[in-house]
Amino acid sequence: MSLLPVACLLGPTASGKTAAALAFAARHPVEIVSVDSALVYREMDIGTAKPSAEERAAAPHHLIDIIDPADTYSAAQFRADALRLVDEIVARGKVPLLVGGTMLYYKALTQGLNDLPSADADVRAALDADAERDGWPALHARLAVVDPSTAARLAPNDSQRIQRALEIFMLSGKPMSALLAAPRSQDADTPYRFVPIALEPSDRAVLHGRIEARFDAMLAHGFIDEVRALRARGDLNLSMPSMRCVGYRQAWEYLDGAFAYDEMCDKGVFATRQLCKRQLTWLRAMPERVVVDCCAEDATERAVAAITRTAKV
C-alpha cells in the first residue's frame, strides 16, 4: 500500500512559514497542524508570534492554545496528537499541512521516540537549587563527568538542556547521549509519508535582520506587558518550559531588574539567533528535505509550489 504524502513546512523563526501556509490555504481545503512547542501555551501570544485571529480564521489550526503555561507538553504527546489529527483531517476530506520550527517534535513524529525518563519535579527542584548556589557552569562541569558527549555540545549556561541531561542521568543511571543513540521505539506504522519542506536562508544576515525587526515589533505590540501579566499570576517561574521560551526568559529577567532594557533587547535577539542556528542544524541533517530559499523574493510562491507537489492537490 502506498503511503499518503503529508507536507511538513519547516523552518527557523522568521523564515516565512505562516505566510506560505496561509497562501497555500487560500487555494486548497487545508487544516494546519502546528509543530511549535511555544504555540501550545495559552496567554503567550505576542512573544511566540502566534498567528492572529484573522490568520487562524483563514484555515483551521490545531495544537495552538491547548495548555496552560504552568503545564508541560512533551514530544510524545505531540506525536500522538499530530497522528490523530492527521487521521481526522484526512477523514474530513481536507489536506493536512504541518507547519512549525520545533525540530524535536518533527523528529519524534517521523522517527519515533527515545526511551527517555519523564520529567521529575523533585529532581529538577534539586538541580535548580544547586544551580542557584553554584551556577550553571558548575552543573555543566558535573555533566561533563557523567556525559561528556552531551556536555561538549552544550554551552555552559544552557540551563534547560544541562538540567534535562543531568535529570536523565540521575533518573536512569545512563548518559543521555547513550539513550539517544539507542534504537527508537515506534508505535504502529502510520499510513503517511511525512515530507519536510525547509525554508532556509541563502543569506543568514537577511534572516538575522528579520529576527531583530520581529523582536522590535513584539516589543512595540506589548510583549513586556504580556510577560508582566504572566509574572503577576504568581504560579509561574523561570524553571518552567513555558518561561524558558526565547524572549520570555530575557523579558522576565529584565522585569526582575537583572539588566537594563537595551541589554534585554540584545539578549532576546541573540537568543533568537541561537535558536535559528539550532533549527538550521536540525534541518540540514535531513537529506530528504525539499529546500526553499526563504530570502528569495518569491519564497512564498516557491513554498506553495513545493507543498502543492507534495500534497498532490
User: How much is the average pLDDT of 69-74?
Assistant: 92
Output the pLDDT for position 114: 73
Alpha carbon distance 33, 17 (integer Å): 12
Alpha carbon distance 273, 210 (integer Å): 10
Least confident span in 11-15, 49-53, 114-118? 114-118
Helices (H), 153-298: 159-172, 176-181, 204-220, 223-232, 248-255, 261-283
What are 87-106's pLDDT values in tens digits?
Answer: 999 999 999 999 999 999 99
What is the DSSP secondary structure assignment for residue 290, as one 8-state letter?
Answer: E
- Residue-by-residue DSSP string for 64-105: SS-B-TTS---HHHHHHHHHHHHHHHHHTTPEEEEEE--HHH
The CA-to-CA distance between both ends of the chain, in Å, stands at: 20
Output the pLDDT for position 313: 84
11 assigned binding-site residue: yes
What are 30-40's pLDDT values in tens digits?
Answer: 999 999 999 99
H/E element, 153: none
17 assigned binding-site residue: yes
Rounded mean pLDDT of the chain?
93
Output the pLDDT for position 77: 93
Alpha carbon distance 268, 35 (integer Å): 22
Phi-psi region of 119 (alpha: psi -120 to 50; beta: other; left: phi over 0): beta
What are 122-152's pLDDT values in tens digits?
Answer: 888 899 999 999 999 999 999 999 999 999 9
- Residue-by-residue DSSP string for 9-53: EE--TTSSHHHHHHHHHTTS-EEEEEE-TTTTBTT--TTTTPPPH
The CATH superfamily of 4-113+186-311 is P-loop containing nucleotide triphosphate hydrolases (3.40.50.300)
Q: Which of 132-136, 175-179, 302-306, 309-313 has the highest mean pLDDT?
A: 302-306
Indicate the domain borders of the chain. Answer: 4-113+186-311, 121-181
What is the DSSP secondary structure assignment for residue 243, as one 8-state letter?
Answer: G
Output the pLDDT for position 190: 85
User: How much is the average pLDDT of 45-50?
Assistant: 96
| Whether pLDDT at 247 is above 80 | yes
Output the pLDDT for position 186: 53
Percent over 70 (pLDDT), the chain: 97
Phi, psi of 191, rounded to the nearest 5 degrees = -85, 15
H/E element, 149: helix 148-152
58 assigned binding-site residue: no
Domain 121-181 fold: Histone, subunit A (1.10.20)
What are 159-202's pLDDT values in tens digits?
Answer: 989 999 999 999 888 899 998 887 665 554 689 999 999 999 99
User: How much is the average pLDDT of 288-313?
Assistant: 96
What are 254-280's pLDDT values in tens digits?
Answer: 999 999 999 999 999 999 999 999 999
12 assigned binding-site residue: yes
Output the pLDDT for position 1: 60
148 assigned binding-site residue: no
13 assigned binding-site residue: yes
Output the pLDDT for position 185: 57
Output the pLDDT for position 90: 97
Give the bridge partners for 113, in sequence order. Answer: 185
| Whether pLDDT at 60 is above 70 | yes
287 assigned binding-site residue: no
Q: What is the pTM of this model?
A: 0.84
15 assigned binding-site residue: yes
- Spatial contact of 313 and 28, defined as CB atoms under 8 Å apart: yes
